[in-house]
Amino acid sequence: VERFKAAMKQAGLKLTPQRMEVFREIAGREDHPDAVGVFTSIRERMPSVSLDTVYRTLWMLKDLGLISVIGSNRESARFDGNLGKHHHFVCVRCGLVRDFEKEELNALPIENDVRKYGSVLETQIEVHGICNACRNTHGDSITSE
């Protein structure tokens, strides 16, 4: 939170309540919401906020390096306040995303395998599965349709 204020001042950007809320929302959540998800949550506390301000702020935070973006599409992007090295568990049914860390996975020997395509910046593991909530509501949205 302090890091945020510092980065804003450093970049010559103004510290507005809206920006404050967007940052706090992303930093404080462990799912990785998309823009509409952030907007919906913030609106409860701050009904005047607009969706386009949320978009603008999220991309601004990304440019400042204060958050990262999951997936390489500008459309339907999810925003991630966790800047540490981590991997993702993704529920294939509902789309839930959760972080996990594992030191051993941070240095996999893959350089040689992808050298022909380009140079490596980082490696992310994406574990696909079914989350606990979806296991319980077992097939409600698949079997019955």
Which residues sit at the interface with DNA, rule CB under 7 A?
A: 13-19, 34-36, 48-53, 55-57, 59, 74-77
Stretch that binds a second copy, among 7-15, 39-47, 55-63, 71-79 (CB under 8 A): 71-79
Q: How far is CA 116 from the centre of its chain?
A: 30
Spatial separation of the C-alpha atoms in residues 118 and 74, rounded to whole Å: 22
Minimum separation from the CB atom of position 61 to DNA (A): 11
What distance in Å separates the CA atoms of residue 99 and residue 88, rounded to the nearest whole number? Answer: 5
Under a CB-based contact definition with an 8 Å cutoff, are residues 36 and 51 in contact? yes
Answer yes or no whether residue 55 interacts with a second copy by CB under 8 A.
Answer: no
Q: What torsion do the CA atoms of 94, 33, 27, 60 make, to the nearest 10 degrees?
A: 150
Q: Is 48 exposed, middle or buried (0-12, 13-18, 19+ CB in 10 A)?
A: exposed
| Contact between 58 and a second copy per CB under 8 A | no
Q: How far apart are CA 69 and CA 80, in angstroms?
A: 6
Work out whether 127 is an interface residue with a second copy (CB under 8 A): yes
Q: Which stretch binds a second copy (CB under 8 A): 20-28, 42-50, 59-67, 68-76?
A: 68-76
**Which of the residues 76 through 105 are near a second copy (CB under 8 A)?**
76, 87, 89-92, 95-96, 98, 100-102, 105
Residues contributing to the site for a second copy (CB under 8 A): 71-73, 75-76, 87, 89-92, 95-96, 98, 100-102, 105, 108, 110, 113-114, 117-132, 134-135
